[in-house]
Amino acid sequence: MKKVLVVMGSDSDLKVMSKCADRLAAFGIPFEVRICSAHRTPAAAEALAKNAAAEGFGVIIAAAGKAAHLGGVLAAYTTLPVIGVPMATSVMGGMDSLLSIVQMPKGIPVATVAIDGADNAAILAAQMLALEDAALAEKLRQFKADMAEEVTAKDKKIRAQY
């Protein structure tokens, strides 16, 4: 199975991105977590992206706040799919991050999840990898079935109350 590369612009993103790591681990997907800045370590970001496929990665998840250029910089140097996780910020609550990631120029797409949407980033990465992995596809099918069961149980409980 291909690995997922999780890259954060700062260690302050770890609190949110630990949800991504937890979800990847729950699906049995191998992953690595790195800290790399699009602005402070651009050469390292370039090298990380250029070498990712050769190192066995199939998807890159990039978390960044404020200017949030990390996902775009990584996407510029690889053909692997990149998923951007906009981080909540004190300035605009994360809207600055969201808009920075979602407004990529033609030719450099970055899939984007919700602000602090680390869990969904992991699920989306799993869905991408599952295109070529039947066992992972089955884990995702079961995950979605379990979610549906939870909602059904909650519906039953609330209907019994009212």
* Below-70 pLDDT ranges, the chain: none
- Report which secondary-structure segment, H or E, holds 83: strand 82-86
The predicted pLDDT at position 26 comes to 98
The predicted pLDDT at position 151 comes to 98
Instruction: Write out pLDDT tens, residues 121-153.
Output: 999 999 999 999 999 999 999 999 999 999 999
The predicted pLDDT at position 12 comes to 94
The predicted pLDDT at position 45 comes to 98
Name every residue whose Cβ is closer than 8 Å to that of residue 66 and which is 6 or more positions away in sequence: 89, 91, 96, 97, 100
pTM, 2 dp? 0.96
- Report which secondary-structure segment, H or E, holds 85: strand 82-86
The CB-based long-range contact list for 89-97 (8 Å cut-off, 24+ gap) reads 89/65, 91/66, 94/65, 96/65, 96/66, 96/67, 96/68, 97/64, 97/65, 97/66, 97/68
The predicted pLDDT at position 91 comes to 82
The predicted pLDDT at position 78 comes to 98
The predicted pLDDT at position 107 comes to 97
Helix residue ranges per DSSP H, 62-117 = 70-76, 95-102
